[in-house]
Amino acid sequence: MKIGELARKTGLTPSTIRFYEEQGLLSPVSRTAAGYREYSNYAMERLHVIQVSKRLGFSLDVIRGMFGANGQCLKTEILERTETRLREVEEQQETLASQQRELLALRAILLDESISRPFCAEPAVN
Amino acid sequence: MKIGELARKTGLTPSTIRFYEEQGLLSPVSRTAAGYREYSNYAMERLHVIQVSKRLGFSLDVIRGMFGANGQCLKTEILERTETRLREVEEQQETLASQQRELLALRAILLDESISRPFCAEPAVN
DNA sequence: AATAAGTTTCAAGCTAACTTGAGAGTCAAG
DNA sequence: CTTGACTCTCAAGTTAGCTTGAAACTTATT
């Protein structure tokens, strides 16, 4: 199949697929006589793996590191990256929880009519 | 005080402070005869407000919208942005929770020795 | 003076993950 | 044989929030 069909099947755009190839996420693919890219179903599966990985929060750099030169997944690499990503997720969860706490406090202050200017000290005339 | 001192007191760099001014987060400040920026304590407090706002996850664009033309905080604006940010935080928490679930599942699969290639379908020879 | 440290402006660079555009070639249908 | 839909490559643009660099000026110290 050509790039347009692959794009439709994966929900990506042709330019994204070319971009992934350029970034080394897709192994260079065979071409027709006219120079058109010709994809197998394996390419489609590879793109699905990439899409799932992105949903898990892996960067393209990290995803690239999960594949060997031959195109195989590297199990121990993936395990490592997964552990790393899990720690990142926990960090971000803590950040969000803290932001949420402070935002709720801020909202409470703003809703308290008796306080006029909560944290804004600059006078009208500077 | 000049920009270097203000930078030290706030933990920012001079270029960041100039950048904030350029972005309209700091009202243009008075200058010495030589053209050096001369800051009051109000500028410092404004920078602290900006730093806190950033910690809460507000973008510079949003932070700019929280100040009126005169440099005052706009209470109702802030309340609105706070509610919006709270919803964003919840969304991101859901995203992270879902990623965490899937990452844990992935790790479990990877640690299960009986499965050799969990989601990698491309053969060695393409 | 001379030197160092601080300041000025303006333009350009950085990261991530793409998108957009230009200009050209290809392919199928009518 | 021409129109329209695809495809190609390569370069440059996008967003956010800064940083870095160049070239020039000021201020303080020696």
Which whole-number Å values give the CA distances from A5 to A2, B91, B99, B115, in the listed order? 6, 33, 29, 32
Please tell me the distance in Å from B50's CA to the nearest CA on chain A.
11
Q: What's the pLDDT score for residue B112? A: 87
Please tell me the distance in Å from A93's CA to the nearest CA on chain B.
7
Q: What's the pLDDT score for residue A69? A: 75
Would you give per-residue pLDDT tens digits along chain B (126 residues)?
Answer: 999 999 999 999 999 999 999 999 999 899 999 999 999 999 999 999 999 999 999 999 999 999 987 777 888 999 999 999 999 999 999 999 999 999 999 999 999 877 665 566 555 333
- The angle that helices A3-10 and A41-55 make with each other, rounded to 10 degrees, is 40
**Whether pTM exceeds 0.85:** yes
- In the complex, which nucleotide's C1' lies nearest to the CA atom of residue B14? C7
CB A37 within 8 A of CB A31: yes
Q: What's the pLDDT score for residue A115? A: 64
> Given CB atoms, is B115 within the 8 Å cutoff of chain A?
no
Domain boundaries, given as residue ranges, for chain A: 1-59, 74-112
Domain covering A1-59 assigned CATH 1.10.1660.10 in the classification: yes
